[in-house]
Chain A
Amino acid sequence: MKLIIAIIQPDKLDHVREALAQAEVHRLTVSRVAGHGDEVGEELYRGQKVFPDLLPKIRLEIACNDDFVDVCCNAIVESARHAGGISGDGVIFITPLEECIRISNAERGTMAIG
């Protein structure tokens, strides 16, 4: 089992959700976060360009069985990338997942996230 954590741009959330649904990944958690890589953001404030340092991002968390890791990550990479790929498109972290328990029926392990 792995835990996939993806940080993406907010405007790509719908694209990624559609791609994950296509790949039959239906369980995920989404949160709004702020942060930055090495990109420079740009917004408008009273008609002036401003460059906020902490930028709004979306964090996705998906726990999946090992077979699904590639499918899942490919779907995110393909759908979260802006045309040509730009700095700030985001990152994916993958970590081993020790245990998983579904609260409703106390199922454990691969059954719980399959």
Chain B
Amino acid sequence: METASASVDTGVTAWMLTSTALVLLMVPGLAMFYGGLVRTKNVLGTMMHAFAAMAIIGVLWVVCGYAMAFGSNVLGGWFGWNRDYVLLRGLDGTILESGIPEYVFAMFQGKFAIITPALIAGAFAERVLFRGFCVFIALWSLLVYNPLCHWVWAEDGFLFNLGAAGAIDFAGGTVVHISAGVTGLVGALYLGRRRGYPQSAMHPSNLVMTLIGAGLLWVGWFGFNAGSSVESGLSTARALTATQVAAAAGGLGWILIEAFRHGKATSLGMASGILAGLVAITPAAGVVRPGGAIVLGLVASAICYGAILLKGRLGFDDTLDVFGIHGLAGITGALLLTGFIRDSWLADASAAAGGSWTAWQQLGVQTIGVAATVAYTAVVSLILFIIVQKTVGLRVTDTGEMAGLDLALHGEHGYGLLNPN
């Protein structure tokens, strides 16, 4: 994938630098989205999870994450390794064939590694110990994210090469959203419910902040999806268009459901629908056309809405619906995209298969990709949760939970406006 003689394409490089910044913007966006949804006493503790991911994974990715994700297969393809990538030492003069300095690619990918553990935090928000979370995401990044990233996006990854043209995961439906959703679900079940859930009402501290966060996520997602084309041209435009359309359809779908069921559209419903649409289009943005993107957004909204009702029935406490939205919309997108693949992609895949390749065959490949991600993530996450709980601890004490994470773990208050001085 790299040639020393390739020269820099300033157009592509400029867009990839922009995309890298846009994806980083999603992390504070996510912090605002999550922070607004928890109770007043936990707002800083919750936002700190996203910022902790920026700090911890921001270092870990450079130290060895990139080497594990984009090195060559080791241990039977479990993950990759390339000694030259440690501390990004070998990248200093490299220009990729796509015309961008490899530094840009490594930083762009590093943002995905950052946002994924930040997403998980929503599932067990309001009851997790900060130090336990920090240790967990470091281990999780090494043992879950980097291998998954390698399988799906490295040129010798097994999902990259499955079937005629690989499992389709354009920008991280499996690697980012399904893995975060499943890990969140395992964590929520392992840690147990928050004290008082579901009898006590737990009101969002600030839905205004949540809406701003949702807006930042939508904007940042253009970098996330359109940047994943790693060019600045036709495929970028296709991904950007699909992303825009699916987000709009997701938001519209959710408020229509609410309007029919309750006679009122809620702001949180709007934000949830937008997110469901964005997640669903993430794996699909490279292969579906706008019509398909609308269907994906609408269907993802309906499925996520149903999943949240079902959560209420089943009684588990996925605090901010990480599985309900990211997990399920990710799975919906990864599977449903096969119904809307553009003909030229299938023609290329058929040529690669040396004959014919149908959407149904691709559905088989997608199913394997999803199943492998769910199974691997669930098992390894559970082991990591147990290890962290037994060593540094993972669940905050009852007293700390009642007092709130902000004061108990950080010694601060999130909202100081009410103090007269």
Contact B407 A10 (CB under 8 A): yes
Residue A34 interfacial (CB < 8 Å): yes
Cα–Cα, bound, A86→B418 (Å): 24
Q: Mark A16-50, 1 if CB is under 8 A from B, else 0.
A: 00000000000000001010000000011000000
Cα–Cα, bound, A12→B400 (Å): 10
Q: Contact check: which of B404, B411, B419 meets A34 at CB < 8 Å?
A: B419
Q: Contact check: which of B196, B413, B418 meets A43 at CB < 8 Å?
A: B413
Contact B421 A54 (CB under 8 A): yes
Residue A14 interfacial (CB < 8 Å): yes
B401: nearest chain-A partner, CB-CB? A14
Residue A15 interfacial (CB < 8 Å): yes
**Residues of chain B lying within 8 A (CB to CB) of residue A34:** 418-421
Cα–Cα, bound, A34→B420 (Å): 7
A53: nearest chain-B partner, CB-CB? B421
Residue B208 interfacial (CB < 8 Å): no
- Interface footprint category on A: 10 to 19
Contact B404 A11 (CB under 8 A): yes
Residue B259 interfacial (CB < 8 Å): no
Contact A54 B402 (CB under 8 A): no
Interface residues of B in 403-421 (CB under 8 A from A): 403-404, 407-408, 410-413, 418-421
Contact A14 B419 (CB under 8 A): no
Contact B407 A11 (CB under 8 A): yes
**Residues of chain A lying within 8 A (CB to CB) of residue B413:** 43, 56
Report how many residues on chain B are interfacial, defined by Cβ distance under 8 Å.
16
**Residues of chain A lying within 8 A (CB to CB) of residue B404:** 10-11
In the complex with contacts A10-B407, A11-B402, A44-B421 CB distance below 8 A: no
Cα–Cα, bound, A10→B407 (Å): 10
Contact A11 B419 (CB under 8 A): no
**Residues of chain A lying within 8 A (CB to CB) of residue B402:** 11-12, 14-15
Cα–Cα, bound, A94→B373 (Å): 61
In the complex with contacts A10-B407, A11-B402, A11-B407, A44-B412 CB distance below 8 A: yes
Cα–Cα, bound, A53→B418 (Å): 14
In the complex with contacts A11-B403, A11-B408, A43-B412, A56-B421 CB distance below 8 A: no
**Residues of chain B lying within 8 A (CB to CB) of residue A12:** 402-403
A15: nearest chain-B partner, CB-CB? B402
Cα–Cα, bound, A32→B414 (Å): 14
Cα–Cα, bound, A88→B402 (Å): 18
Closest chain-A Cβ to B406's Cβ sits at a distance in Å of 10
Q: Contact check: which of A11, A14, A54 meets B420 at CB < 8 Å?
A: A54
Cα–Cα, bound, A108→B130 (Å): 51
Residues of A in contact with B (beta carbons under 8 Å apart): 10-12, 14-15, 32, 34, 43-44, 52-54, 56
CB-CB nearest 3 A-B residue pairs: A11-B403, A14-B402, A44-B411
Between-chain CB contacts (< 8 Å), 10 pairs: A10-B41, A10-B404, A11-B408, A14-B195, A43-B412, A44-B410, A52-B419, A54-B419, A54-B420, A56-B419
Given A11-B41, A43-B412, A53-B421, 13 more pairs with CB closer than 8 A = A10-B41, A10-B403, A10-B404, A10-B407, A12-B402, A14-B195, A14-B402, A15-B402, A32-B418, A44-B410, A52-B419, A54-B420, A56-B418
